[in-house]
Amino acid sequence: MLYLKRLPASELKIDRGFIRELVHDTEDAAIVSAIIALGKALQLKIVAEGVETDDQKRFLAELGCDALQGYLLGRPVPSAAFHTRQS
| 49 is an active site residue | yes
Cα(52)–Cα(70) distance, integer angstroms: 6
Residue 62, SS3 per DSSP: helix
**69: alpha, beta or left, given left = phi > 0 and alpha = psi -120 to 50?**
beta
Of 11, 21, 27, 49, the catalytic one is: 49
Catalytic positions, written as ranges: 49
